[in-house]
Amino acid sequence: MRNIFENMQTKYNSVRPVTGVAGPKVFIETYGCQMNVNDSEVVLSVLQQHGWSLTEEISEADLIFINTCSIRDNAEQRIWGRLDVFKQMRKRRPSLIVGILGCMAERLKEELLSHTAVDIVAGPDSYRDLPMLLREFGAGSKQINVLLSHEETYADISPVRMDKNGVSAFISIMRGCNNMCTYCVVPYVRGAERSREPESIVREAKELFANGYREVTLLGQNVDSYHWVNPDNPTHTVNFAQLLELVALVNPLLRVRFSTSHPKDMEESVIYTMAMYPNICRHIHLPVQSGSNAMLSKMNRKYTREEYLSKVAKIKEVIPECSITTDIIAGFCGESEQDHQDTLSIMRMVGYDMAFMFQYSERPNTKAARHFPDDVPDEIKSARLNEIIELQQELSLAQNQKDLGKVFEVLVEGYSKKSKEELQGRSSQNKVCVFPAGNHKVGDYVKVRITSCTSATLKGVEVED
Ligand code: 5AD
Ligand code: SF4
């Protein structure tokens, strides 16, 4: 077997991918959540340090890494489909190496490794090991590392940003999850929760700002349970509200977002910290999952409908202009028509600006899979999901119509999808705003008055200061 991993000494240290250099090339394909996008950037950083460079052309790649998601069955089915494609590709290019990373690697382990198209399987906590796995694979055998860690946060690795716009970037502040929602595979594939050292987070935010970035999104499965304890002085701790403040103080021109908040853990101090700093975006993603107390309890969400609504009321009281978005699951185990109606009614009561909506998908070995029958028929799940989607479209439109005539500060991310005469960016509330380009460029802040809207987009014109 060709061994292209020997004697690799070139090390590239950079915020952006290093391209156009000699040496082996990796193509990275990412599925799933923002955390996975950021993990792929960590993977690229590790590989660049070992002489690899990124290619955007799969046909040029010596190595393909697929960073996978297991959250629903259809996410996994897509990956199996890709593996069949790689199998064909390898008939023409026998030296092509294929590695599976991420959540599905962690969940399926050897089952994936035994696929003819797969050479390397690496779980979310083993990315530092990739150069070693590649070397060993080069020496002749398939490689796997799916050990989960209680400490790994990749704190010292500066992710190499693969985004196109160079304006907004993700920063992981913690890894893993301890919540054990009964439907969810995440705790099994990403392990126990651990918080990253705050200094390294602030350093990363400063580095991004110095490189022209104007927006960071702090990522965690449940950012509100961020809790860092100084190992040298355990009385020194940092919670999420304090971390948010530290990052907001990096520069008033650096916008700060965060995701995801858990309604049971979101403390008032987070809301008040947001209110204190205009550069902390006026947007909270607060997954409700269901509006029915029976379902919430069966899901082990640890809040009631009433508690959720009072948290929303507090947000609206302290930050009236804050947008609220959510995740909803339709057709969880035993969900009755009344439970479903409770979801529709909580959606109306909150008036969500946007929602991610899913049909329940049973995940092997979760508590729900082990204890509750997946008994809502597929037709009913899909009919309920459609009702939820239709209602959300009405709500998004109604929320956007409330913005007509208002002025928002928009951070420009690029041209609009339809025209090079128009730019597009997002408001602090995370709504996409399109407006005539004028002399503006990516990374500018522009004040835009909203003149029209759809359920997905605001349109407007620039106003003078
Ligand atoms: N089936 C459907 N949706 C799920 N989610 C998590 N697990 C499942 C599942 N088994 C959804 C939740 C979560 C989002 C990331 O994915 O709404 O908030
Ligand atoms: Fe992200 Fe969860 Fe999918 Fe893993 S399983 S990629 S944590 S959404």
375-418 pLDDT per residue, tens: 999 999 999 999 999 999 999 999 999 999 999 999 999 999 99
pLDDT digits (tens, 9 = 90+) for 337-382: 999 999 999 999 999 999 999 999 999 999 999 999 999 999 999 9
Confidence of residue 19 (pLDDT cuts 50, 70, 90): confident
Q: Per this entry, what is the length of the chain?
A: 465
Q: Which of 183, 260, 367, 378 best tests ligand 1's pocket when mutated (most atoms within 8 Å of CB)? A: 183
Does 4 score more than 60 pLDDT? Answer: no
Q: Which atom of ligand 1 is nearest to the CA of 359?
A: 2
Task: Give the integer Cα–Cα distance in Å for 241 and 277.
Answer: 12
168-401 under CATH 3.40.50.1820, yes or no: no
278 CA distance to ligand 2 middle (Å): 31
Q: What confidence tens digit (pLDDT) does each residue in 90-109 have?
A: 999 999 999 999 999 999 99
Whether the pTM exceeds 0.85: the reply is yes
Which letter does DSSP use for residue 267 in this model? -
Which ligand 1 atom sits closest to the C-alpha of 289? Answer: 17
Residue 12 has a pLDDT of: 63
User: What distance in Å separates the CA atoms of residue 342 and residue 273, rounded to the nearest whole number?
Assistant: 32
For residue 33 and ligand 2, the question of a CB distance below 6 A is answered with: yes
Where do the CATH 3.40.50.12160 domains begin and end in the chain? 2-145
Taking 70 as the threshold, does the pLDDT of residue 177 lie above it? yes
Span of 5-14, 26-35, 145-154, 184-193 with lowest mean pLDDT? 5-14
Interval 8-33 mean pLDDT = 81
Q: What is the mean pLDDT of residues 51-64?
A: 96
Whether 36 lines ligand 2, by a CB cut-off of 6 Å, is yes
| Arch. (CATH architecture) of 2-145 | 3-Layer(aba) Sandwich (3.40)
- Within 213-302, residue ranges assigned H as helices are 240-248, 268-276, 293-298
pLDDT at position 1: 42
Exposure string for 181-220, b = 16+ CB within 10 A, e = fewer: bbbbbbbbbbbebbbbbbebbbebbeebbeeebbbbbbbb
Residues 36-41, mean pLDDT to the nearest whole number: 98
pLDDT band at 230 (very low <50, low <70, confident <90, very high): very high
pLDDT for the residue numbered 174? 98
* Nearest of 127, 131, 161 to residue 146 by alpha carbon: 127
Per-residue pLDDT tens digits for 269-297: 999 999 999 999 999 999 999 999 999 99
The answer on pLDDT for 7 being more than 50 is: no
What whole-number distance in Å separates Cα of residue 18 and Cα of residue 284? 35
Which bound ligand lies closest to the C-alpha atom of 356? 1
Residue 197 confidence class, pLDDT cut points 50, 70, 90? very high
- Strand, coil or helix: 259: strand
Residue type, 299: M
Any ligand 2 atom below 6 A from CB of 191: no
* Residues forming beta bridges with residue 175, ordered by sequence position: 194
**pLDDT above 80 for 185:** yes
What is the distance in A from the centroid of ligand 2 to the CA of 247? 25
In this prediction, residue 11 has a pLDDT band, given cuts at 50, 70 and 90, of: low
Statement: residue 80 has pLDDT above 70: yes
d(C-alpha 188, C-alpha 142), whole Å: 24
Model pLDDT for residues 317-336, shown as the tens digit of each residue: 999 999 999 999 999 999 99
Tell me how far the alpha carbon of residue 458 lies from the centroid of ligand 1, in angstroms: 28
Cβ count within 10 A of residue 104:
28
Q: Which region among 20-24, 190-194, 226-230, 329-333 has the lowest average model confidence (pLDDT)?
A: 20-24
Q: Does residue 357 line the site of ligand 1, with CB under 6 A?
A: no
The C-alpha atoms of residue 88 and residue 127 are separated, in whole angstroms, by 27
Classify domain 407-462 by CATH architecture: Beta Barrel (2.40)
How remote is the CA of residue 70 from the centroid of ligand 1, in Å? 10
Cβ of residue 146 lying under 6 Å from some atom of ligand 2: no
Contact indicator for 189, 70 with CB cutoff of 8 Å = yes
* Candidate of 186, 289, 329, 372 to mutate for ligand 1, largest count of ligand atoms within 8 Å of Cβ: 329
Does residue 331 have its Cβ closer than 6 Å to ligand 1?
Answer: no
Atom number of ligand 2 nearest to Cα 32: 6
Residue-level pLDDT at 163? 83
Rounded-to-integer distance, Cα 167 and Cα 215, Å? 6
pLDDT > 80? residue 465:
no
- The per-residue pLDDT of the chain, averaged, comes to 95
| pLDDT at residue 343, rounded to an integer | 99
Query: What is the rounded average pLDDT of the residues 297-317?
Result: 98
305 Cβ below 6 A of ligand 2: no
- C-alpha 103 to ligand 2 mean position (Å): 6
**What does the CA dihedral 194, 199, 201, 207 come to, rounded to 10 degrees?**
-160
Longest dimension (CA), the chain: 65
Q: How high is the pLDDT of residue 2?
A: 44
327 CA: nearest ligand 1 atom: 17
The model's confidence at residue 464, banded by pLDDT at 50, 70 and 90, is confident
- Ligand 1 atom showing the smallest separation from residue 363 Cα: 10
If you measure from the C-alpha of residue 93 to the centroid of ligand 2, how many angstroms do you get, rounded to a whole number?
31
| 225-253 residues labelled b (16+ CB within 10 A) or e (exposed) | bbebeeeeeeeeebbbbebbbebbebeee
6 or 267: whose pLDDT is higher? 267
CB of 329 closer than 6 angstroms to any ligand 1 atom: yes
Question: Kindly report the CA angle at 187 between 142 and 303, in degrees rounded to 5?
Answer: 165
Determine the distance separating the centroid of ligand 1 and the alpha carbon of 360, expressed in angstroms. Answer: 7
Listed in order, the ranges of the chain carrying CATH 2.40.50.140 are 407-462
Residue nearest to atom 13 of ligand 1 (CA): 327
Where in the sequence of the chain do the CATH 3.80.30.20 domains occur? 168-401
Ligand 2 and 105: CB distance under 6 A:
no
- 12 CB under 6 A from ligand 1? no
Write the DSSP assignment of 334-369 as a string of letters: T--HHHHHHHHHHHHHHT-SEEEEEE----TTSHHH
